[in-house]
Amino acid sequence: MRYLLVEDNLELAEAVVGRLALDGHAVDHAASLADAEDCLSAAQYDLILLDVMLPDGDGRDFLARSRSHLETPVIVLTARSQVSDRVGALDQGADDYITKPFDFSELEARCRAVLRRRGGEARNEIHLGDAVFDPLSGTLKHGSESIDLRNREIRLLEVFARHKGQILSKSQLMDRLFSYDAEVTENAIEVYVGRLRRRIDGMGVSIETVRGLGYRMETGDA
């Protein structure tokens, strides 16, 4: 996916760009509202991440101004007190908001929810064996059959799909699936992998156990 990040704090912007890149997203960074306007006139984005306090104005004013001609969904990044900010941001046309510092899996979940609500096009479809997987809507199509996956299954399948043929350790998978505040054992990963295996059974794609190392996704065409 292609993101536009509008954030004036350069260190934070760099970290966010770096972190989103790890999940395979392309991110353009604008440090001010003026920069953001330039970026928007030059390229198409799937989603805008908009900071509230910017050197050349309030992000929410920008939102109110550009909402009429801006098609791209916007998630507002706020560092203020939630009590006063939240309602204001949503009223002025943001699709959602997230409070700094944010959990990237929460950001991902919010992006997914916003894009699904907006009815985004399935331009991120991934072919897996005989099936087509749309990580955005979380559907897995196999012939005429369409399966709705649960959130964690979507995330797990997405990780495997983006790293076809690579060995992924349980600990790597754990960080993708669970938030850091919960104590999770590696057994939980086995449960989810087992469940995902049943979901993709007979679709020409499989998740192999690599003893002592982790799991690997194999597709017939790989």
| Residues of the shown chain interacting with another protein in the complex, contacts defined by CB under 8 A | 9, 11-12, 15-16, 18-19, 22, 53, 79-87, 90, 96, 99-106, 109-110, 112-113, 150-152, 171-172, 175, 179-183
Q: Work out how close the CB of 8 gets to another protein at its nearest, in angstroms, rounded to a whole number.
A: 9
Q: Work out how close the CB of 21 gets to another protein at its nearest, in angstroms, rounded to a whole number.
A: 9
Q: Work out how close the CB of 181 gets to another protein at its nearest, in angstroms, rounded to a whole number.
A: 4
Contact present, 5 and 17 (Cβ < 8 Å): yes
For residue 37, which of 72, 1, 79 has the smallest C-alpha distance? 72
Cα gap 110→98, rounded to integer Å: 8
Strand partners, 75: 49, 96
**Nearer of residues 53 and 204 to another protein, judged by Cβ:** 53
- Longest distance between any two alpha carbons in the chain, whole Å: 56
For residue 70, which of 37, 99, 96 has the smallest C-alpha distance? 37
Q: What is the DSSP letter of 150?
A: P
Task: Give the DSSP H or E segment for 196.
Answer: helix 186-199
Q: Work out how close the CB of 97 gets to another protein at its nearest, in angstroms, rounded to a whole number.
A: 8
Compute the Cα dihedral for 169, 175, 176, 182 and give only its sign: positive
Q: At what angle do helices 59-66 and 33-42 cross, to 10 degrees?
A: 40
**Nearer of residues 40 and 62 to another protein, judged by Cβ:** 62
Q: Work out how close the CB of 101 gets to another protein at its nearest, in angstroms, rounded to a whole number.
A: 4
**Nearer of residues 175 and 221 to another protein, judged by Cβ:** 175
